[in-house]
Structure 1
Amino acid sequence: MAKTIEELKAEFHQTYDYFPGVARLIDREHKILAANIKAEKAGFKEGMICAKIGTPESHRECKFEKMFETGKAQTDHAIPDKIRGWYPVAGFPDVCIHFGLPLPEDF
């Protein structure tokens, strides 16, 4: 039996709530379905449109669309002290996980 979106959201929170960076479960329309604790503290709330949060510069070189086009995980290092990533969720072709992970100073 296929998982429901509510089950997926519960699994997301179980896995990502204590992740050391921001993480969001996002649908193809850029709507945030779930956000971990760090993301919520940064202003990313369920129901918001991810692409409208922050400055336009913070979304520069976003690989969200490329991830959906290719079906393959994408990462970048467009922000000097952070790695960003987008990856598909098995069984949910219109959903991805997007994270930002700060790099340690000695990286």
Structure 2
Amino acid sequence: MNDEIQVDEKLIEAFHLMFDHFPEGVQLAHKSKRIVALNAACKSLGRDVGMICAKHGPAEAHKGCLAHKTVKNHAASWVKGAQEGPGGQTPVVFWLPIDGYPDFFIHFGVGYMKDYALPPELDEEK
């Protein structure tokens, strides 16, 4: 299988403009689940450009992955509580299609890396 994926540089640039400062890990992936861009928060989780996201971490963490559904239907998908965050909080995990780029999707969780029930002044990373 050819691992070379052609990605429009405008798509990579737009991804970074929107998500580089997002406090949760966000990745831009190809329908093959190969990561083509990620933000710093996602990199801190051990993911990197070029890797297949579904092979990162334990296999059970990827049960319920909705990437294929998102790409096939070109509609947002989400699930609550796919895997607990590091602090034990329950995230909501999203897969978003990208208009004009049917072979790509954005994947992230809200409440995975941060506990939004805590007041911002207790955020350790500030």
- TM > 0.5: yes
Unaligned runs of 5+ in 1: none
- Give the 4+ runs in structure 1 shifted more than 3 A: none
Per the TM alignment, residue 14 of structure 1 is displaced from its structure 2 partner at its CA by 1.0
- Equivalent pairs, count: 103
Please tell me whether Structure 1 or Structure 2 has the larger radius of gyration of its CA atoms.
2
Unaligned runs of 5+ in 2: 1-6, 85-89, 119-126
1:7-44 C-alpha deviation (Å, 9 max, x unpaired): 11011011101112110000011110000110011111
Structure 2 match to 1:79: 83
Q: Percent identity?
A: 33
Which of 87, 100, 103 is the matching residue for 2:109?
A: 100
Structure 2 match to 1:26: 29
1:47 equivalenced with 2:44 (yes/no): no
Per the TM alignment, residue 5 of structure 1 is displaced from its structure 2 partner at its CA by 1.4
Structure 2 match to 1:8: 11
Instruction: Give the Cα–Cα distance (whole angstroms) in 1 for the partners of residues 99 and 67 of structure 2.
Output: 16
Structure 2 match to 1:35: 38
1:24-65 C-alpha deviation (Å, 9 max, x unpaired): 000011110000110011111111111100111111111111
When you count strand as a share of all residues, which structure comes out higher? 1
